Amino acid sequence: MIDSRPRESLKLDVCCVLALLFGGISCTTVFAQETPFLYVLGVVQDAGYPQAGCYQEHCLPGWENPSLRRGATSLAVVDPGAGAKYLFEATPSLPAQLYQLNLVAPDADYKLAGIFLSHAHIGHYAGLMHFGREVMNSDKLPVFAMRRMREFLANNAPWSQLVSLNNISLKSLRDYQTEPLGSIRVTPMLVPHRDEFSETVGFKIFGPRHSVLFIPDINKWELWQRNIVDEIRNVDYALLDATFFDGDELPGRDMSEIPHPFVVESMELFDELNSAERSKIFFIHMNHSNPLLDASSPQAKRVLENGFHIAHEGLRLAL
């Protein structure tokens, strides 16, 4: 295949190879200096891991060992050329996630230029409270959201205070209308979900070289007006809803009240994809009960053996 990337990108690849051969600097560091990238800040469902009030066997390791704790699902997009960084979701884990982002894209060099929100479930917007006057007291931080999501924030306390005090500035998103951000482009896509307070969207994120599909929450793939298999084929990476591994995960709970595509269902649906297309997929947004959080579990090994990936905090993908 002919590489159609700009000459500057090809030079970076040569630098990367030399770095790997002779040491001294990592390949990801080379790209971080020159090329936009996506950085995973959290991988768990809204409540993080371990979840509040969970003292079952699968949660205890997280309480006993802080290194095993995981934050709610959030991504960052860093654009070195523009000196800008963006958050996708403002989670309850925001303080730790901002610190982690500062390590890879320091505030001194990268302005937090905006936050994209998918919907009004707590794991996706509750972290906005940290931008208020009680904490960071930010100044007109752009928050990109769909119409119902904007109305929810503007008309309900305490979020409305962020708007009235100009801590945040609400920016309009529209279904499948692209938002240009320098060398980055973001396209929201409506998806079916439990829309009690707002609509729900996934995102396509485009960089100068690569594209990402990010859908952390959806009811079931077959309920979407778009074909998820075709959507995967049309991007370079896909970070997809993996809230529950299967229907036996929450004994005594009516799973129809919290519909998501089970990972086993997704793997069956994606079976028609070839190995290169499967390798694009990173399962994300895992519930605290999901065995994929344990890399040594049989379920995690099954996912990997089938050619898929499991997203982890610190994952970096060049855009």
pLDDT digits (tens, 9 = 90+) for 116-141: 999 999 999 999 999 999 999 999 99
Say yes or no to pLDDT of 62 above 90: yes
Polymer length of the chain: 319
Provide the domain limits for residue 307. 7-16+25-318
* The dihedral sign for the CA sequence 155, 160, 163, 168: negative
90 within domain boundaries: yes
233 within domain boundaries: yes
Q: Please give the Cα distance from 58 to 36 (Å, whole number).
A: 37
Three-class DSSP category at 215? strand
214 within domain boundaries: yes
Report the domain count for the chain: 1
pLDDT of 249: 73
Say yes or no to pLDDT of 146 above 90: yes
Mean pLDDT along residues 224-231: 96
Q: Would you say 170 and 153 are in contact if contact means Cβ atoms under 8 Å apart?
A: yes
pLDDT of 252: 65
307 within domain boundaries: yes
Between strands 184-190 and 179-181, the pairing is: antiparallel
Say yes or no to pLDDT of 26 above 70: no
248 within domain boundaries: yes
Q: Please give the Cα distance from 291 to 221 (Å, whole number).
A: 21
86 within domain boundaries: yes
Q: Write the CATH number for 123.
A: 3.60.15.10
pLDDT of 33: 56
43 within domain boundaries: yes
Mean pLDDT value across the chain: 90
Mean pLDDT along residues 282-307: 96
1 within domain boundaries: no
